Amino acid sequence: MIVVEDVWKSYGRQVLFEGISFKINRRERIGVVGRNGHGKTTLFRLIAGLEEPDRGQIIRPKKYLIGYVEQEPRFEAATVFEEAARFRRPEEADETWQVEKVLAGLGFKTKDFALPPSALSGGFQVRLNLARALLAPYDLLLLDEPNNYLDITSLRWLARYLLEWPGELMLITHDRHFMDTVVTDILGIHRRKVKKIKGNTEKYYQQIALEEETYEKTRINDERKRKEMEIFINRFRAKARLANLVQSRIKTLAKMEKKEKLEKLETLDFSFRYEPYFGKYVLSLNEVTFGYEPGKPLIQNFSLTVGPRDRVFIIGPNGYGKTTLVKLMAGLIKPQKGEVNIPPKVSLGLYEQSGLATLNEERTVLEEVMAADPQGDPQRARQICGTMMFEGDKALKKIAVLSGGEKSRVLLAKILARPVNLLILDEPTNHLDLESCDALLTALDNFEGAVVMVTHNEMILRALAERLVVFQGGRITVYEMDYNHFLEKVGWEEEKELKASLKQEERVEKPILSRKLWRRLRSEIIVAKSVALKPIEEKISELEKRIEKGEAEIQSLKEAIIEASRQGKGQEIGELTKKWRSLKKEIDSLWEEMDKWLKIYEAKKAEFENKLRELDLSLETTVKTKTSSSSSSISSD
């Protein structure tokens, strides 16, 4: 368990944390949320020991290994495979299947294993860095935006892998669906404090909203009472006969804690302006072919028509041509064969991955937004800057000093500068925080025109996609269905292949049960047992607490009934008895539910214990067989 105790941290005038405290308990997977710049990465660096708090302390157990996966990896081994396995335990050195499993899950091909890490692209170097961390024997894993450079199939694999992570985990990500799939707890950084809750992001944000609403109502009510008391004191201070009442109010006023009005937090809140359009389609591709190498087309004979209200999402593994297709659609590159047609009255809003580099670093945010619509109203450009969290003097910041997330908001602001009826967006969420992704989803949902978008964010896919352009298996297929139906009816080929290879591996390895294989299988059963039993244990614990609380209330009611009997309060006895009976019935029901869950728990536990016993017997049999074979061999000699 790690304990963060009364930690303060600031950089100059920017205060990130004011006396934050929380614990990381055994087997917790914690999602860390908060706006960009509010200290998520700093918190990770403090926990990892890479920075020190200004005040307070972070208590780590002895020999507790913390792995912090940074975005800028450094490699030392000669090959990808050796680098991935570099920090593994010595006794696991021969168990290559684990390394192969993780590398394959993160999108590496077998031919990549022998490559030097320096030969990989930047994105695959980040993946290798992540693979190395997943294979190391860390007790706590700190993952800061692991989604960066991962495609949709790798993200889905990573989510499944992290669900079985045997230690503790802290995760920062802009993908709410990914976070909610993986974590058990949410730790929110909010107003320089932290709040940790069991559950998902929705529960956390609902709780924060409720607490702030309650705080504000209480503050307004207290302010009203304060003013009433001040008026009373000022009006009757000189009245001798009311001196006691005046003094009483003065004392009450002195004791009242003055609640400060909550500081207004910057929030991304915008909508795309719609240019009315009455044509049959906004974009069409007819038999389009394109490739960067002769004889190796990335896109071949591809056709698609996009209607004025369509929601078309382009998905698939990285490197298969999604961004190339976007560039063809937007007219940034010309097809080698076929044609792309955008009708003259279509107004296009384009967000491309390389767009950050196209921003003029010498301009201010305001100048860059105004450049998107030179004939536009400067006051409107100011308003757009404000909606994208560049209020006041922030709109006068140079592009050169902005972070990646801020530059992403500038690109979106440029699209807002003029009305459009077709949005083509290539992974616009990459540099946005979770709250900004939510704002983008809302803006897209409310947009009246057509949307064509590349994304790996499954929350956005599930919420908005109506048609899919899917890259997989060396081909591009258009599916007239939403993402949920795609997963149900078609699915990802990479996942099917990975499952098939793992099953084949199990079939190959099963006959020979070495001690290494036995340790691996035993470890997997123990992890699966923990994952299966933990929610049942939590349910039983919750029922125990409710029963304990109910029985304490029953005891109090019994004492109250006895006291009422002594005093002859017949009506009160009747009311208390009614409450006692109702509570007794509720507790009986809780005991029945407890009995049901205990039976489920014992059955599940027995199932896993049987698996462990069978595994141990298999090892015993193998050892005996080997010993017998060895003895026979000696005898015959």
Does residue 426 contact residue 353 with C-beta atoms inside 8 Å? yes
In tens, the pLDDT along 244-273 reads 787 887 888 777 777 777 776 667 778 899
Does residue 486 contact residue 508 with C-beta atoms inside 8 Å? no
CATH architecture of the domain with range 2-205: 3-Layer(aba) Sandwich (3.40)
Task: Determine the pLDDT at residue 348.
Answer: 95
Task: Determine the pLDDT at residue 511.
Answer: 45
Q: Is the pLDDT of residue 184 over 60?
A: yes
Sorted by where each begins, the domain ranges of the chain are: 2-205, 215-255, 307-324+346-495, 515-636
Q: Do domains 307-324+346-495 and 515-636 have the same CATH topology?
A: no
> Any idea what DSSP says for residue 89?
-
Mean pLDDT, the chain, as a whole number?
86
Q: What are phi and psi of 403, to 5 degrees?
A: -80, 170
Task: Determine the pLDDT at residue 71.
Answer: 62
Euclidean distance between CA atoms 269 and 442, whole angstroms? 9
Most confident of 111-120, 306-315, 539-548: 306-315
Task: Determine the pLDDT at residue 623.
Answer: 57
Q: Which of 108, 99, 126 is nearest to 494 (CA)?
A: 108
Q: Is the pLDDT of residue 630 over 60?
A: no
Which CATH entry fits the domain spanning 307-324+346-495: 3.40.190.10, 3.40.50.300, 3.40.50.720, 3.40.30.10? 3.40.50.300
**Which one is predicted more confidently, 109 or 249?**
109
Q: Do the bridges between strand 193-198 and strand 348-351 make them parallel or antiparallel, or are there none, so unpaired? A: unpaired
Task: Determine the pLDDT at residue 131.
Answer: 93
CATH architecture of the domain with range 515-636: Orthogonal Bundle (1.10)
Q: What band does 632 get if pLDDT is binned at 50, 70 and 90? A: very low
Q: Is the pLDDT of residue 525 over 80?
A: yes
The pTM of the full predicted model, rounded to 2 decimals, is 0.71
Task: Determine the pLDDT at residue 631.
Answer: 43
**DSSP symbols for 128-182:** HHHHHHHHS--SEEEEESTTTT--HHHHHHHHHHHHT-SSEEEEE-S-HHHHHHH
Task: Determine the pLDDT at residue 366.
Answer: 93
In tens, the pLDDT along 594-617 reads 878 887 888 888 888 878 777 777
